[in-house]
Structure 1
Amino acid sequence: MKTILLHVFEDCGFESRLQVGLDIARCHSAHLTCVQPTTQFAPMSFGPLGGDFVTGINFEDMNVAERAHREKIENRLKSEDVSWDWQTGLGDPATLLTERSRLADLAILSQSFGKRNAGDEPLPIAGDVAVHAHCAVLVVPIETNSFDCDAPIVVAWNGSAEAAKALRLALPILKMANTVHLVTVGEEGEGFPHSAASIYLARHGVSTVLHELKGKGKEASHIIAEFATEQKASALVMGAYGHSRLRETLFGGVTKNLLNDADIPLLMGH
């Protein structure tokens, strides 16, 4: 874990993203790359007769706000004991972060509010980035104000390719945890039971505690989240969208539910 991407945007989740990023960077002696999507455009004419395009968006004010936010955060980072750099780029934030993740170990974003509303809520891009990123993605609730690298971590296991990738991408963080809980809910897939995942981790020097959680009439997402809270886990490692995204959008699913409602950071891979 040596290169960490931090999504920079002035929303109510940025402070929690920054603090978690700084904690993990210190713990792993890692470099923090601040990625700021920008609204700066070259002047263009959109009128049907070459006139100015009329819009309610004041791009100059947005540019001024972005520059001010960058200056504020850069001044803070100068006093932190981590190495860092700043990158800006045009385009969709999810696409930009995905592109920059090619040579990164972790990307840090915020949990969106789902059905809740707030004027400065984080952009709802975590799901898209988790599916397409080339590295692990850490989705941070806005209430989170730190990341304890020594705390327990819970790994949700269902034998899927997505769960396996998340587990592999999470190895550097799992090695730091004082306890790794490997959990399944209901029946396991026959191909890769959680005992196989435990053996894989053991070969990397990571000991695990195996748990088979029963449904008890609750949704799997609720059971996993409840267990992680009971263990005082610093993060929940899981595969992103084991079912199709369309299916989860229409009918719900573990990924969708936890992206909206988890109380602890989600470390995801797809």
Structure 2
Amino acid sequence: MSTLKSILVHVDASPQAAARLKLAEQLALAHGAQATAVYAVVSALLRYPMAMAAGADMAPMLAEVDQQRLEAARKRYAATVDAAHVGWQECSGQPVAELTQRALCADLLLLGQRGADAGRDADLPADFVSSVLIASGRPAIVLPHVAAAPAKLERVLVAWKPTREAARAVTAALPILQRAQRVTVAAFDERGEAGAEAGIVGYLRQHGVQAAFKREVAAGSGVGDQLLSLAADEQSELLVMGCYGHGRAREWVLGGASRTVIESMTIPVLMSH
């Protein structure tokens, strides 16, 4: 029986939210889970505080902008999923804090990669994905902004290293790995620790997952780029990896591989801090 029972999917006014909603419904049906869509954005009043100086009549105009974006998100939700499978909640003002709080009672989050056009994502902080991942400590599938439809997630690449972040990501991914047709574990282990293959492959086998193992040599281009290249070579539909980062000066700073993958992904990535 699947342990994936509670899915939280972030929704904004962007068209890319539809892919996240569809994947949430797909996972909910496959795992007998309840999915909840949460509309969370930074309000126009907070995005454009200087506009208030132009006159008191700006407040109603900005509020109307917020309402229009909310209505667009509601219509997209209603047209994309069945409310019996994916519920709906709304919050506004502080999307990172509000989604993080709700994430604490969810098994899995679905988030969206920041689009190449930064202006299109003005209703979210630039570090929204990394902030929610690190602040909540919950696993999340991050969908690329180019995603048009949910992947089947049947071919999975696991990036393995002997760390708590990687271990948490693998554990969170188990319900999906158990249904996958092909699982490949790739280790970029610079120390060449003995037993790495037997340990992770054996652990997966205990949970009903038959996985192939590949040991890769880290190149000068960086592990993040190598992971994305290997995922393409393997025709993977999902990448599973730890998310590495720390807080500094009021912002979350990601490690090199995590940052590269979040910025350049072309397939969904399940990450856990």
TM-score class normalised by the smaller sequence: 0.7 to 0.9
Across the aligned residues of Structure 1 and Structure 2, the Cα RMSD in angstroms comes to: 3.1
Alignment of 1:133-148 (within 5 A): 133-148=136-151
Q: Partner of 2:178: helix, strand, or coil?
A: helix
Structure 1 unaligned regions, length at least 5: 47-51
Question: 1:139 offset after TM fit, Å?
Answer: 0.7
Identity of paired residues, percent?
27
Count of aligned residue pairs for this structure pair: 257
Structure 2 residue aligned with 1:171: 174
1:68-96 alpha-carbon deviations (Å, 9 max, x no partner)? 12431343256x38512111224321221
SS in 2 for 1:120: helix
Secondary structure at the counterpart of residue 13 of structure 2: coil
SS at 1:222's partner residue?
helix
Matches of 1:27 and 1:109 in 2, distance apart? 19
- 1:45-68, Cα deviation, whole Å (9 max, x unpaired): x9xxxxx86867833213321441
Aligned residue number for residue 200 of structure 2: 197
Question: What is the 5 A alignment of 1:48-59?
Answer: 58-59=61-62
1:91 to 90, 93, 99: 93
Between 210-219 and 141-150, report the one with greater CA deviation: 141-150
Amino acid at match of 1:193: A
What's the offset of the Cα at 1:144? Answer: 1.6
Where 1:211 maps in the other structure, the secondary structure is strand
Q: Distance in 2 between matches of 1:178 and 1:141?
A: 22
SS of 1:144 mapped into structure 2: coil
Cα separation, partners in 2 of 1:225 and 1:69, compared to 1, 3 Å:
same
1:60 matched residue in structure 2: 63
Seen in structure 2, the aligned counterparts of structure 1 residues 261 and 87 have a Cα distance that, compared at 3 Å, is same
Q: Amino acid of the residue matched to residue 240 of structure 1?
A: C
Write the distance in 2 (CA, Å) between the matches of 1:162 and 1:192. Answer: 19
Match of 1:117 in 2: 117
Cα distance, 1:8 vs structure 2: 1.2
Structure 1 stretch displaced more, 141-150 or 97-106: 141-150
Partner of 1:49: none
1:203 Cα deviation from its structure 2 partner: 1.2
Q: Counterparts of 1:241-256 in structure 2 under 5 Å? A: 241=244, 244=246, 253-256=256-259
Q: Which amino acid aligns with 1:226?
A: S
Question: Which residue, 213, 217, 221 being the options, matches 1:214?
Answer: 217
| CA 1:82–1:195: 2 relative to 1, 3 Å | farther
Q: Tell me, which stretches of 5 or more residues in structure 2 are unaligned? A: 50-54
Q: For the residues of structure 1 that align with 2:210 and 2:187, how far apart are their CA atoms? A: 17
Is it true that 1:231 corresponds to 2:240 in the alignment?
no
Select 2:11's aligned residue among 8, 13, 16.
Answer: 8
Structure 1 partner of 2:52: none
The 3 A distance-change label for structure 1 pair 184 and 245 is farther
Q: Offset of 1:127 from its aligned partner? A: 0.7
Q: Is the 8 A contact 2:130 2:252 kept in 1?
A: no
Distance in 2 separating the partners of 1:120 and 1:40: 14
Question: CA shift at 1:194, angstroms?
Answer: 4.0
1:117 maps to a residue whose letter is D
What secondary structure does 1:103 align onto? coil
The answer as to whether partners of 1:153 and 1:233 remain within 8 angstroms in 2 is: yes
CA change 1:90–1:68 in 2 (3 A) is closer
Shift of 1:181: 0.7
Note the 1:145-156 alignment, pairs <5 A.
145-149=148-152, 151-156=154-159
Q: Distance in 2 between matches of 1:244 and 1:266?
A: 20
* Aligned with residue 110 of structure 2, among 84, 108, 111: 108
Quick check: 196-205 or 249-258, which moved more?
249-258
SS in 1 for 2:150: coil
> What is the letter of the counterpart of residue 196 of structure 2?
P
| Alpha carbons 2:18, 2:80 under 8 Å: kept | no
* Structure 1 residues 101 and 27, CA gap change in structure 2 (3 angstroms): same
